[in-house]
Chains A and B, each alone.
Chain A
Amino acid sequence: MDFSALLGLNALFVVVVVAFLVAVLLLQRRKLKLNLAENNSVLESSRRIYQIILEDLDFHTLVQKIADIIPNELQFGTGVLAILDEERGVIKRIAASHTREAQEAIKALSVPFEKIEISVTDPNNLMARALREHKSFTTTDVYDVLGPVLSKEEAGKIQSIMSTKTTVVYPIFLRSKPLGVFIASTKKEQNKLSSYELQIIDNFANIMGLMLQNSKLYSSLKSTTEQLQKANEKLKELDRLKDDFVSVASHELRTPMTAIRSYSWMALNRPDITLSDKMKKYLSRTLISTERLINLVNDMLNVSRIEAGRIEIRPQIFDIGILVDDIMAEVTPKANEKMVQLEVEKVKLPKVFADPDKVHQVLLNLIGNSLKFTPTDGLIKVNFFSDGKVVEIKVSDNGVGISKEDLSRLFQKFGRLDNSYVAAATSGGTGLGLFISKSLVELMHGTIKASSEGVGKGSTFTFSLPIATPEIVAASEQYTKRPVGEAKVLEPVAI
C-alpha cells in the first residue's frame, strides 16, 4: 500500500467517522427535540386537565369531562368513570366518553351501562382489584373490567366493537379514601404506549380524586341549597295561608263587633229612645269596649304587618305643617266633644322626605293619645323645630303625664302603664299605638322620644323626620322600603 493509497483510505475513514459522528449528533438532537416536544405536550395536557378542576364544579358535567379527558388528550377509543357506592359495596359506572367507540359499545350492551355494577370484593375484576390493592392495571381483555356482569363472549363482542387492544385501569383515591375507578381503552398495543401517554394518565389519575371530591361537596351543597329553597317555598306558602287566615279571621271578628258597636250606638243616640242613666252608662261602656276591641284587632294586624316587613315606605317631599293642619281638622270634633283645646305653632318649615301616609298614622296616634289622656279643658300643642337636617314635631299636652319608670317601657308592645289603665279602658287605647308609631318613624329614618315631668304634669312626644335636602332626595333609594311579599296598608288609627 503506497502512502497515497494509505492517505486515501485514511481520508475515507475520516470521512466515514465524521459522517457517523454527524449522524449520531443529528439523531441525538432529534431525540432531544422530540423529548422536548413530548414534555411540552405533557405540560399542555396537564394544564388542560388541571383547568377542569377550576372551571366546572357541577357533578354531572364534571364526571362527563373526566370520562372525555383521556380520549381527547391521547386519542384513546374510550374513557369510563365509575364510582364506589360504599353503602352497597359496588363500583358503579357513571360516565362514558362521547367517543364513537364508547357510544357504540354502550348501544350493544345487553345490560344498561349504568347497571354494570362490580362488587368491590370480586376476586378477578380489575376494577375491584385496583381499589382493593390500591394500584393500576393494564390488560388486553375488556372482560377483566366487565366480568362477571357480562359474559366472556359478550365482553369479546364489546371489545371488537370498540376495536381496542389495551385497557388501563386506575383506582381513584383521595387521601387513602377510595372514590372510584377510571378505565381507558386504546387501539394501541400495550408496549406501544409511550412514556408520555403513561405520564399523562398517571398525572390525571392523581388529581381525579380531588376533582371528584370537590364536585361531590359542591353537589351536596347544591342539593342542600335546593332543599332550603323548597323549604323556603313551603314557608312562603304557609305565610300566605297565615295571611289569608289572619285577614279572614279579622273580618269574621269585626263583623259581630260592628253589629255590637252599631246597635249600642243606635240605642244611645236615637232620639226616640229614652234611657235611664244606668242604661246609658251600661250601653256607653259596651260601645267603648267594642271600639277598643276593634282597635285592638286593627293594631294587632298592623303590628303583624310591620313585623313581617309587609309595610312599604314610599318617601315623598311634603310640607309637614299642612299634614298637621289636616290632622287637626280630623280630630277637632273629638277635641270639641272632650272640650280640649288644640294649638298648632305657625312657622315656616323646610319640607320633609318621608311617607305621608305613615306620618299621618303616627301623628294621629300621638294626638289621639293626648286626647285620651288629657282631661276636659286641657290643651294639646304641636310645635316644630328644625336644625337643617331634620324637622322635629313635638306633640305635648297637660294631661295625666307619665311616671319616670313608665317612660322606659312606653314604646314596647303592651308597654302601657298600670296606673293609667282606667284611662285606657275608658279611652279605647290598645297598648300598641306607640310601638307602631316608633316602628314607622324608624322605618322612615327618624327617631321618637317621650318625656314627662311626672304623673299629673302632662306628656311630650317628639319625633323627627329627615329634611328633603338634595342629598337625601338623591339617595331616595335608601329611604324607600320595599315590602316583603305583597305590600299591606295599615289599618286606620281610631281616635
Chain B
Amino acid sequence: MADNAGKKILIVEDDQFLRDFYQELLTSEGYVIDSAADGEIALAKIRQGGFDLVLLDIMLPKKDGLHILQDLKVQGPSKPNGQIVVLTNLGHDTVINQAFTLGASGYLIKSALNPDQVLTEIKNFLQKPNG
C-alpha cells in the first residue's frame, strides 16, 4: 500500500454506482482519487494534468472518450499526466484500436474483471514507464 500512497488517479465514469465503486475501491488502497462524470469535465481535468493514471470511459455524456483523446492531441495538459487507460464495457474493436492510435496505453473491460483484478491491472499500469 505504501507505494500507492499519494498516487493520483482520475476516474472518468458516467455511471454513478460504478464511479462511487471505483472511488471507494481505489481510495481504500491509498490512492488519491478525482472523478469526472461527463466528457467536458473530464477533458478540463485531464488538461489541468498532474494525474499518475487516468481511467477513461468511452461512452460519456457531452463528449465521448475518443473525442477527449483527439482534443488532447490538439491541446495537451499543462502539467503532464501518466498513462491514459481506457476503462470501458464496449468490446468494440475499432473503438479500442482508435483509442490506441489516439494515445491510450491500455484498456480494461469493466465487466470482465473482478475488483481484485482491476486493482492488479491498475498497479501494473502505474509501474510501467509512461509510454
Give A residues with C-beta under 8 Å from B: 247-248, 250-251, 254-259, 261-263, 265-266, 269, 294, 297-298, 301, 486-489, 491-492, 494
Q: Which residues of A contact B32 (CB under 8 A)?
A: none
Contact A298 B115 (CB under 8 A): no
Contact B93 A489 (CB under 8 A): yes
Partner of A255 from the list B18, B92, B93, B114 (CB cut-off 8 Å) is: B18
Interchain nearest-CB distance for A288 vs B (Å): 12
Given A259-B15, A259-B21, A266-B21, answer yes or no on A491-B91 (Cβ-Cβ < 8 Å). yes
Contact B59 A262 (CB under 8 A): no
B4-12, B48-56, B105-113 - interface stretch: B105-113
Number of interface residues of B (CB under 8 A): 21
Contact A258 B111 (CB under 8 A): yes
Q: How many A-B residue pairs have CB under 8 A?
A: 61
Given A250-B91, A251-B59, A254-B111, list of 16 further CB < 8 A pairs?
A: A247-B90, A251-B88, A255-B110, A258-B89, A258-B110, A259-B21, A261-B114, A262-B25, A263-B17, A266-B25, A269-B116, A298-B91, A486-B93, A486-B94, A487-B93, A489-B91
**Docked complex Cα distance between A489 and B109 (Å):** 13
**Docked complex Cα distance between A116 and B88 (Å):** 68
Partner of A492 from the list B24, B59, B88, B112 (CB cut-off 8 Å) is: B112
Interchain nearest-CB distance for A345 vs B (Å): 30
Give B residues with C-beta under 8 Å from A: 15, 17-18, 21, 24-25, 59, 88-94, 109-112, 114-116
Interchain nearest-CB distance for B119 vs A (Å): 11
Contact A294 B21 (CB under 8 A): no
**Docked complex Cα distance between A494 and B112 (Å):** 7
Contact B116 A254 (CB under 8 A): no
**Docked complex Cα distance between A255 and B57 (Å):** 11
Contact A247 B91 (CB under 8 A): yes
Q: Which residues of B contact A488 (CB under 8 A)?
A: 93
**Docked complex Cα distance between A43 and B116 (Å):** 91
Interchain nearest-CB distance for B102 vs A (Å): 18
Would you list the 10 A-B pairs with minimal beta carbon distance, nearest first?
A254-B89, A254-B111, A259-B17, A258-B111, A489-B93, A258-B110, A294-B111, A251-B89, A491-B91, A262-B21
Contact A265 B115 (CB under 8 A): yes
Interchain nearest-CB distance for B29 vs A (Å): 12
**Docked complex Cα distance between A269 and B59 (Å):** 29
* Residue of chain A at shortest CB distance from B94: A486
**Docked complex Cα distance between A254 and B18 (Å):** 11
Q: Which residues of A contact B59 (CB under 8 A)?
A: 248, 251
24 contacts between A and B (CB under 8 A): A247-B91, A250-B91, A251-B90, A254-B110, A254-B111, A255-B15, A255-B18, A255-B89, A258-B89, A259-B15, A259-B21, A262-B21, A262-B25, A262-B115, A265-B116, A294-B111, A297-B111, A301-B91, A486-B94, A488-B93, A489-B91, A489-B93, A492-B109, A492-B112
Interchain nearest-CB distance for B13 vs A (Å): 9
* Residue of chain A at shortest CB distance from B58: A251
Contact B91 A266 (CB under 8 A): no
Q: Which residues of A contact B116 (CB under 8 A)?
A: 265, 269
| Central interface residue in B21, B90, B91, B115, by most chain A CB within 10 Å | B91
**Docked complex Cα distance between A254 and B15 (Å):** 11
Interchain nearest-CB distance for A308 vs B (Å): 14
* Residue of chain A at shortest CB distance from B59: A251
Partner of B18 from the list A250, A259, A494 (CB cut-off 8 Å) is: A259
* Residue of chain A at shortest CB distance from B18: A259
Contact B114 A265 (CB under 8 A): yes
